Amino acid sequence: MISSPKLLTICSCMVVFMTMVASTMALYSHEWTSSLTAETFKGTLTGEPVTDINCDSKAASEAGYYKIEGSSNQNYFYWFFESRSEQKDTDPVLIWLTGGPGCSSQLALLVENGPCSMKDGNLVENPYSWNSNANIMWIDQPTGVGYSYGDKSDYDSNEEEVGEDLYHFLQAFFEDHPQYQKNAFYVFGESYGGHYVPNVAHRVWQGNQNNEGLPINLKGLGIGNGLTDPEIQYGYYTQMATNNSYDIACVSDKDAKSMEAATPKCISEIQRCQSSERACKTAQTYCNIELTSPFQKSGLNVYDIRIPCEVPGLCYDFSAQESFFNDPQVMEALHVNTDVVSKWESCNMQVNQDFKLDWMVNYQNKLPDMLKDDIDVLIYAGDADFICNWYGNKAWSLALDWSGKDAFNAQEDKTFMVNNAAKGELRSANGFTFFRMYEAGHMTPMDQPEATLQMVNTFIHEKF
């Protein structure tokens, strides 16, 4: 049995780190009329300092909920960390959205890019955390994910709802944290974040264009191993299974031929989904059975073709993280509403099913008008991932119809070096960057923490 993580009360010498985070409960409420339903809602942000979890000795944090009331009941959990750097006052603000759909962003905090990770059941600081040079917030969303909760009838099921909820969440956050209002703001996410991120960023951009509420200083967005353009990406499963960088035959010759034969119909069904919602479920069912099931039969990890799938579902053993987030002391320290949330789960499969009509919708079309308005875009992918592989991500990046397409496509791929070692390759033009990370799977920051941090810092501070 994994022991409980070490908890402690922050001593007086740590008070200095609380200067940028409210020392008492944050409470900010605002009302708005939904652009989707014309209904009136009230949103309330509550956040309190996290003082009893030894996660980051160099940066303060706060956690709490953003509560939406009206004709719906939704409560979004977040855990926010200050930047570790001396420039925290001016460092960018990032949000992180894990995909699934239905998986908790807090899992990414502990196993990918957060200030702490777990070793032998205890917390240890992560030297390559993304808050090294940025203020960053991990949000459990949509409703029902992780510590977030609400009435099941109010769960989101499409990207317009996701974008609307998070836009007003951000309005409340920046109103309640005025010290960050002028800082550069970035939206990051992974996997199904390839759907979430373009929509959330576009909703923020749209709000700025329409002079809605508080202006948010949106500067860019990043998608890691994302599903963004299914119409193109599903065409590359056979190639990744048979002709990858690691010379691994992931499927038999028979299955490879079957996958190749099924691809044209799959693409056709995805194309139909773009104009007919009724076709979206058919497309998801057919394409996943024909193009991903053969790989799953191999016993390999769908998120990293180099290793076996050890645990059904997510393939990785996250039992230590699950024990941590279900520890009553941890839940109390994070100000979780335990009257409603009795158990944390890495993924909520009801939420996953709620998005079945959204899965095959293309969302790369949200990027061109933002790129034209000088909003930077980073698409990165670990090259050992099968499910959202780098072949498909690079292909849609090259196919994207935007003002800088010719310049982007004319670029040569350049080697990305970290400590005199080649860690990836990238091409970049006019604010659009595609990055292939070597020796990394679906969760790139977990497999290449130092290189991924350098990639992100270059993107948000220096530009490629």
Catalytic residues: 191, 385, 442
Structural tokens at position 62: 């706060």
Residue 17, classed as helix, strand or coil, is: helix
Helical residues (DSSP H) of 278-356, grouped into ranges = 278-291, 293-296, 319-325, 328-333, 349-354
Structural tokens at position 310: 């050890």
Q: Could you tell me which of 458, 445, 376, 454 has the C-alpha nearest to residue 112?
A: 445
Q: Which residue has the tokens 């908790």?
A: 104
Structural tokens at position 49: 């300092």
CA 214, 220, 225, 228 dihedral sign is positive
Measured CA to CA in angstroms, residue 416 lies from 263, 427, 462 at distances of 33, 10, 14
CA 161, 164, 168, 171 dihedral sign is positive
State the greatest distance between any 2 C-alpha atoms of the chain, in Å, as a whole number: 66
Residue 39, classed as helix, strand or coil, is: coil
d(CA 364, CA 367): 6
Structural tokens at position 148: 């977030």
d(CA 385, CA 144): 27
d(CA 263, CA 260): 5
Measured CA to CA in angstroms, residue 348 lies from 40, 202, 354, 424 at distances of 28, 26, 10, 33
Per the CB < 8 A criterion, the answer to whether 140 and 78 are in contact is yes
**Beta bridge partner(s), residue 185:** 93, 218
**Beta bridge partner(s), residue 308:** 300
Structural tokens at position 304: 């990293």
